[in-house]
Each structure stands twice: as C-alpha cells, then as structure tokens.
Amino acid sequence: MSESDGSRWTRREIIELGLVAPALAGIGLPAAAQAGATPWRQGSLIHLIPTASHDRILIKASFAQPFAKPPRLMVGRDAHAGIRSDPDGRFWRFDVAGLKPATTHDLRIVDGDGAAICDPWPLRTFPAPDATAQRMRILAYTCAGGYDGVRMEDRSVMLDMAARRRLLARGLGFAPDAVIANGDHIYWDLETALARPRMKRYQELVWPRFGGALDTSVPMLHPRNAAIFTAVCDYQIAGLYGVSLRSTPAFFLPDDHDAFENDEFTDKAVTLPPDTYGTLGAEETQQLYYPEFLPDATRPEWLPGGGRTALPPGTNGNFGTLRFGTLVEALFYDCRRFVDYKGAQAHVVPRWTEDWLVARTIAEDTRHLLHIPSLPFGYSSGKLGDWYPDKLDDATGRLTLENAKAGWQEGWYRQGQRIVEAAAAQRTRAGIFVQGDLHVSGAGLMTGSRDREFPRPVHIIQTGTLGSGDTAFPSQVRGVETAASQMVTMQELMKPVEKNGFTIIDVTPETVKFSLFTWRPPQPVEEIDTMTPVFVHEVARPA
C-alpha cells in the first residue's frame, strides 16, 4: 500500500500481517541460533502473550477466524477452556491456576473438537515466593507502539516495524526469564491529535488506512468501532509480537497513549486523568491483547485497577508485581490513570497505591527490589505529567523552574519524594527505578532532591524505546532534550540518548546488572543482529 493510498487495511491484510510477524521476529536472532532451528507452526494463531507467577499463567491470544466453540489450552494432559474476550470470538484468554512453581509446563492449544491449532510450546512458572533463586534475566523497554507507514517532512514518525521486530528478536535472543514492556503499546491519540497542526496532518494521513475516525459516542468494541479498533491494535501489538513471547512471561504496564491520548494541558486539551472513553479504550485493549497483573500475596486485592467484572479473578490492570522467589521483586505502577489536581495534596497514584509501594519497599524481604513506574523519576522533558515542575524556556531551549507549568501540582512532587525517599532509606537493598516513557536510554545516580540529601543514592535506568521514530523523540516533539530535573541532584552515568534500544537486566543475589543497547537509523538494520551494550551499570547490595 502506498503512502498516498487512503484505503483502509482489510481484515485479510491484518491477518496476513499477524501470521508473518513471528517469522520476521526471528530475523534478529544470532545466526547460530537460527541454524538448524525448526519453525514453530502457529496455525491460525495471530498473537499470543503470556504472563506468569509461581503458580498461575494467564495468556491473551487472537486467531485468524472466530470460534463458536471455546478453544482449550492443554497443560500437560489437563484441558482448560478459553474465555472469550470479544463479541465475535476471535480473542480468547486462558487462565490456569494451581500450577507447580519453578516448573516448565508443556502447553498446547486445541479447538473445540480437540484438533491441534498450533505446535506445543513450553512456559515456565517462577520460583515460589519463599524459594531461593540464584539468577534471573529481564528484557525491558518502553514505547513499542505506533504505526510506521508515513513520513512527515521526510522524517519517520515511528520506527519501521521490521526494525522494531528485529530489536525485539535481538533482546529475546538473550533468553530472558521475563519481558517488561513499559507503556505506550498503542499510539492512536484522539483529542490531542486535533490540538497540534502537525499531529492533525498525521491523523489525516493515517486514520483512513484503518477505516477512519472512531465514533466516540459508543465504546471501541461497539459494532461501529470494532473493525477500526482491532485493526489498529492488530497492527501495533499483534503485528509486533505475533507469537514471539509465547515462552517468556510478559509484564505490560499501561501509560498515557494507551488511553488514546497524549499527556497534554493546554487551552485546547486537558488529558490527565484520561476521560471515561480513554479509560475504557485502555481496558478494552488490555482485555483483548495483553495480560493483566496476576495476584500477589503482598498486594491488596482492593487497590484501584482491580475488581472489574471483565478482569480475570484477582488480577489488576494498573498495579502489579513480579516476584521471583526471594531474589527480586518488581513493582509496576500506572502513573496516569488516577492522577488528580488537589494542589499540595495531589496524587499521581492513589494514596492506597502509594502505601503499598512504600510498605513493599521498607519490607526488604527480597534480595533486590525494582520500582517500575510509567512516569520517570529524576528526569523531565517539560511535559505536564512529570513529578517535577521543569518547563521549557522557549528563549533558551532549556528546562527551567522560573516559569509556572500550567496544570502542574505540588502534591505530585511530594508524593514522588515519599516514594523515592523510601527507596533511598533501604538498609540492605539499593534503591532502583527502571523506567520508560521518555523515549531515551540512560542511567544516573540521584543523590538528593531540593535541599535534601538521600542516605544512599538512587539508581535511575531509562530502558530505551522500541518504537520511536525521528519525530517522536523528546527533542522533536517537545522541543527539548530529556535532562535531569533541576529539582534533583543527579550524577549522570550515561546521559540520555535519543536512540532506539532496550535493556537487559541480570539479577544475582549480590548484584543487579543493567546492559543498555542502542541503535538508530541511518545505522544499517543488520547491525541490530550483533548489538553489544553501549553502557553497563552494575548495582551491588549495600555492604
């Protein structure tokens, strides 16, 4: 389809895209890994994304055609009926509890008559919460979504999908035990697309290809919207992942664009917290495409983000936990969905969520703890939804504290300080924040904020972006490069770099090692296959 072609993508084209995605995902693996590899037959599967805990797996999957009778997930010899996620029966979830920890489970999907849909595959549960584990590896990145089919002013908006798949494949080639995808799985902004001339032009170029504008008077899964909604998400999520994550538990954290808006506070658009339509859109995307966070004994069931009728039992769509024995715990928190504007008492995350984050931090009952916020600590690009009040000075092109930032709330900073100070006060663990959102790779040591010095430095890791194109990096879309907030004292270990990439996190009982990989056009795409870290940062437990 040419750039000038205004026709929509057909269902057959979307299905074909989904079917070829796994094959394309494999091209980034080292040649040795490809040699002699037997292709995995996915049959009518379009995409499959699993998550896991020590005793439960949850899978989201879609198929090339609807099923009238529920497909079944075979775990060994045990059959578990799928639960339909969409009105037509093309999307299903499989939810299996009571599994043995630290065990590789053999999985198969069969149709309602028992015929195999795809080849079998393995998926391993995590160690029990009280079990000793010696090592874990995580692949982490941010901002993987976006449509790549247009250029503006001869620059890319989002990274070419083939290169994106190649980056993902390179990361998966390191055989991680889990994947962390931090926010912005979808870019399809509605109101904010109309607020900026350049984004309005992007909308005009892209929306007709997927069927036009959504009718915001009815939900996205309404018959008037469903074909557009699923075509958009099929391209950006199923088209990237296919079945490449089938044996790797994945943790998908939502952010602002997942609610179908950008973070804005102008006289034309105020988008935080997301309105009802954006919230439902984010929930429906998650419902169909990627797993919610499974229950954890230390996370209250009554936290916001849980308890909805459509959710798998006990799960939460916004706040979650990755627990790998006593080795490491990771806390995921969506910093957009529940933000409020109460001045000095304002919150980015609800107070109950803050209490949970602080309680888990001071418990110190694992060797390491990783905070995984959707809103970065320590750094700013001048947008509204920062923890900090830094704003772009148009005269100097730099961030400043001299001018008030419209809409920003003092309480956001205060809440961020409480969370960071809890991390810095740990006695037996280092304070670590692994974050996304800012479309950069980088690392820093935050040693204080305002006039307060932390008892120990806090380690800040920007994981790198999988999907950003030229115009999506902060220096272009915001007019300023990402920098440490002037509210904090930051020792730059790796200055934020506007490149595509990811981070490999290796956890052992005594250290957490971060290996940052970067690449960006016009570098040859073949260089992705042999990428080596551009920076390595190792964090040791306090003596």
Is residue 385 included in any domain, yes or no?
yes
- Name the percent of the chain lying above pLDDT 70: 92
List Cα–Cα distances, 201 to 3, 196, 268, in angstroms. 13, 9, 17
Write down the pLDDT at residue 273.
Answer: 87
Stretch 17-32: mean pLDDT, rounded? 33
Residue 520 one-letter amino acid: R
Residue 330: which of 272, 258, 249, 449 has the closest Cα?
Answer: 249
Say how far apart CA 305 and CA 50 lie, in whole Å: 20
pLDDT at 456 exceeding the cut of 60: yes
Please report which confidence band the pLDDT of residue 31 belongs to, taking 50, 70 and 90 as the band edges. very low
More confident residue, 35 or 511: 511
Reported as a single tens digit per residue, the pLDDT across 488-502 is 999 999 999 999 999
Say how far apart CA 245 and CA 22 lie, in whole Å: 9
Stretch 478-485: mean pLDDT, rounded? 82
Say how far apart CA 55 and CA 416 lie, in whole Å: 33
Say how far apart CA 25 and CA 41 lie, in whole Å: 14
* HEC letters along 290-352: CCCECCCCCCCCCCCCECCCCCCCCCECCEEEEEECCCEEEEEECCCCCCCCCHHHCCCCCHH
Residue 139: which of 10, 28, 232, 34 has the closest Cα?
Answer: 28
Query: For the purposes of burial, counting CB atoms within 10 Å of the CB of 329, is it exposed (0-12), middle (13-18) or buried (19 or more)?
Result: buried
Write down the pLDDT at residue 195.
Answer: 63
Radius of gyration of the chain (CA): 22
Domains held by the chain: number: 1
Tokens of 108: 């198969």
Write down the pLDDT at residue 196.
Answer: 67
Is residue 318 included in any domain, yes or no?
yes
pLDDT at 10 exceeding the cut of 50: no
Where is average pLDDT lowest: 29-43, 86-100, 262-276? 29-43
Mean pLDDT, the chain, rounded, equals 90
Write down the pLDDT at residue 479.
Answer: 67
Q: How far is CA 126 from the centre of its chain?
A: 20
Domain of residue 247: give its range.
11-28+44-61+127-540
Reported as a single tens digit per residue, the pLDDT across 508-517 is 999 999 999 9
> DSSP assignment, residue 234?
I
Tokens of 202: 């992007």
Say how far apart CA 183 and CA 204 lie, in whole Å: 25
Stretch 378-393: mean pLDDT, rounded? 89
List Cα–Cα distances, 154 to 39, 478, 489, 519, in angstroms. 38, 19, 39, 20
Stretch 368-374: mean pLDDT, rounded? 98
Residue 317: which of 309, 328, 325 has the closest Cα?
Answer: 309
Where is average pLDDT lowest: 83-97, 371-385, 523-537? 371-385
Write down the pLDDT at residue 37.
Answer: 62
Q: How far apart are the first and last CA of the chain?
A: 59
Stretch 172-176: mean pLDDT, rounded? 98
pLDDT at 199 exceeding the cut of 60: yes
Tokens of 368: 């390491």
**CATH code at position 56:** 3.60.21.10
Say how far apart CA 269 and CA 449 lie, in whole Å: 31
Is residue 67 included in any domain, yes or no?
no
DSSP letters, 352-413, are HHHHHHHHHHHH--SSEEEEEESS-SSEE-S-TTSSS--EEETTTTEEESSSPPTT--HHHH
Is residue 98 included in any domain, yes or no?
no
pLDDT at 32 exceeding the cut of 70: no
Residue bearing tokens 């290796």: 506
Write down the pLDDT at residue 201.
Answer: 81
Residue 251 one-letter amino acid: F
Is residue 144 included in any domain, yes or no?
yes
pLDDT at 146 exceeding the cut of 70: yes
Query: For the purposes of burial, counting CB atoms within 10 Å of the CB of 155, is it exposed (0-12), middle (13-18) or buried (19 or more)?
Result: exposed
Q: What is the pTM of this model?
A: 0.92
Write down the pLDDT at residue 384.
Answer: 81
Write down the pLDDT at residue 28.
Answer: 31
List Cα–Cα distances, 245 to 67, 126, 165, 249, 531, in angstroms. 23, 16, 12, 7, 20
Is residue 490 included in any domain, yes or no?
yes
Is residue 222 included in any domain, yes or no?
yes
Is residue 85 included in any domain, yes or no?
no
Q: Which range has the top average pLDDT, 122-126, 388-392, 397-401?
A: 122-126
